[in-house]
Amino acid sequence: MTQAPRLTVRDRPEAARFEAVDEGGTVAGFAAYRREADRVVFTHTEVDDAFEGHGVGSTLVRAALDAVRAEGLRVVPQCPFVRAWIKSHPDYADLTA
């Protein structure tokens, strides 16, 4: 069984996305967004095929939502993955606008 990669999630506002990056600097996945006043609209989440099945999407979304919460903003989950993730983690439902 392959070990899950160690990831760092960073906000890249200039690219309008959060990125999950492995120890070698490879972008394993990203969650694209746009900011609208007091909301962050998540529009698309993508995980590189090489990282599929290792929880990258969940790690990425959890960290992104934690960052949004820390800023006191709300979330509009247009992306189906983000919407499904929030639905399966009700402790994040309060973030939805």
> E strands of the chain, at which residues?
7-12, 17-22, 27-36, 39-47, 74-77
Residue 35: inside a domain, yes or no? yes
Domain count, the chain: 1
Residue 2: inside a domain, yes or no? no
Residue 1: inside a domain, yes or no? no
Closest CA to 35 of 8, 21, 15: 15
Residue 32: inside a domain, yes or no? yes
pLDDT tens digit sequence for 20-61: 999 999 999 999 999 999 999 999 999 999 999 999 999 999
Q: Which domain holds residue 48?
A: 7-95
pLDDT tens digit sequence for 51-87: 999 999 999 999 999 999 999 999 999 999 999 999 9
* CATH at residue 49: 3.40.630.30
Q: What is the pTM of this model?
A: 0.92
Residue 18: inside a domain, yes or no? yes
